[in-house]
Chain A
Amino acid sequence: MDPRDFLDTAKGLLKSDSPANCRSVFNRSYYAAYNVGVSLLEEAGIPIKKNASGHGELDKYLANCGINEIKEAQTKLSFLASQRIRADYRLNEKAVEKHTNAEKAFLSSKSIIEVFTQFDSNDGEEEIFRGVNAYNEKIKTASKHS
């Protein structure tokens, strides 16, 4: 399944302004962008764990791939992640029940996915692989010297 389909689900949820729908928009919007990010890294040859620690791995590699557009998209994704946590777990939080904020989450996800999609080509994936590889080498060297 193409994770972008979650974004279509989010768009459908925006037809109602009920609190449950608005909260669910945050959830689907986040997971659409998260899974497109995971696909991008995996296609670049960087495996991501299929459990809760995958979120941290994705953040770490995107943030350290050396490409500014990707780093900015990762930051936007981490902002969306914290809003998703509120939408799913903090039932006293009212901001995630507002239609305007839910629509913004949907648009943020869309723009993150647009950035990831720009790099969804052989050249883009190679650039990401080289950047992440350089980061991993730097970490290995630093840990040898410590």
Chain B
Amino acid sequence: MTTSSACFSHLYQEINRTILNSPERERGTAPGETDAWLKENAVILSDFNDNLNNLAPSLEAQSVELVRDDAAVFFCANQSLLRYLQLIEDLIRKHFPTVQKISFSLDYDPETCNEWVNADIQITGDIGQVIDWEDAFIKEWVSEVPYPERDKIRLSSDIM
């Protein structure tokens, strides 16, 4: 699923469709559990949608390209991380003024089988500047997000 900053009015529907149609969900959830799972996540998704709508004007102004793959969104919904996905987008924009693109994708460690979401950013700037931005970002990320949740969404920068 690819969304630009102009497509926020459709994001809630896209996330909902992602979760409803997810093959992982089909495989891993019994019919009786499905309704409860949906009810629980409907509140989170609704809050997420509200937050995105509030954020949309600032995103439009910055013209940041945003890419979220289905697996990353599903992982966040399943692990109750959607609010932190929202937060990390916000903090990236706040701390990395030259960010051009933000991409979310699911990744795993083949040695430990741990999974997390990569928040990849493409930015311009010199290395020292990017490290300073990242330090400020990490300070706020650590103060706002508890462990182990903060370990499940990881920033990675690509200096253009």
Contact = CB atoms under 8 A, between A and B. Distances in A.
Chain B at the A interface: SS class: mixed
A64 B151 CA distance: 12
23 contacts: A52-B112, A55-B109, A56-B112, A59-B151, A63-B148, A64-B147, A72-B135, A72-B138, A75-B150, A75-B151, A78-B151, A79-B155, A82-B109, A82-B154, A83-B156, A85-B110, A89-B110, A95-B156, A104-B157, A104-B159, A107-B131, A108-B134, A111-B131
Interface residues of B, number: 29
**Chain A contact surface mostly:** helix
A129 to B, nearest CB: 18
A72 to B, nearest CB: 5
A68 interface: yes
B14 interface: no
Contacts of A126: none
A120 interface: no
A68 B151 CA distance: 15
A76 B138 contact: yes
A108 B134 CA distance: 10
